[in-house]
Structure 1
Amino acid sequence: MDVTFTAPIGVTVRDDVWSCVEIPDSLELLGTGKAVRVVATVDDHPLRAGLMPTGSGGHMLSISAKLRTQLGKGIGDTVTVHLSERLT
């Protein structure tokens, strides 16, 4: 897996904005609507994380408060995500 994209932090789930980034074309990329663990970077910060189903057929990557602080970014700010390895 070698996918890089840029997206804003903030995904609307049940009328609330979650601190996540939506993965473009994730259903085609991953071949499943279930959660998938990956190795990734967010603005060059490495992490292992689960891509969670959005409920509408896609996936999202959670951007924790700790990571947002390290990046100096908040809801609405854009990050660059690189997915380098699928673990599950």
Structure 2
Amino acid sequence: MPAPKTPQPLAHTFTAPIQKDGAFATYVTVPDSAELLGTRRPVKVGGTIDGHPFNATLMPSGEGPHWLPLKIALCKLIGKDAAGVEVTVHLEQRFS
């Protein structure tokens, strides 16, 4: 039986513009993510965006940083969905 997946603390806050040109409809680029996470593979995380909780999988861009896909419901909740509008992301947990 595999070991249970336990969250690991992750304290990383950044501000980034919403992007809409890429593999996902709406996303932000996580700066220095490969160094922060120690991998260029997908990583499940939890945290807040503009103070609202979320869980998502950071996806490798293929160029270094990861992309954080933003769900439409979360964009509506924070009142931001236009390209170029900045959001503040706080990554609190990494799920392994």
Question: If the length of structure 2 is used for normalisation, what is the TM-score?
Answer: 0.82
Per-residue CA deviation, residues 13-53 of structure 1 (Å, 9 max, x unaligned), is 37xx7410100100100111100001110001101111011
Percent identity over the alignment is: 45
Structure 1 position 65 matched with structure 2 position 72: yes
Query: CA 1:85/1:36 → structure 2, altered by over 3 Å: closer, same or farther?
Result: same
Unaligned 5+ segments in structure 2 are 1-9
Hey, what does 2:95 align to over in structure 1? 87
The one of 7, 13, 23 aligned to 2:16: 7
Unaligned 5+ segments in structure 1 are none
> Which of 1 and 2 has greater Rg?
2
Query: RMSD of the TM alignment (CA)?
Result: 1.6
Structure 1 position 78 matched with structure 2 position 86: yes
Which aligned segments of 4 or more residues in structure 1 are displaced greater than 2 angstroms?
A: 11-14
3-state SS in 1 of match to 2:34: helix
| More strand per residue | 1
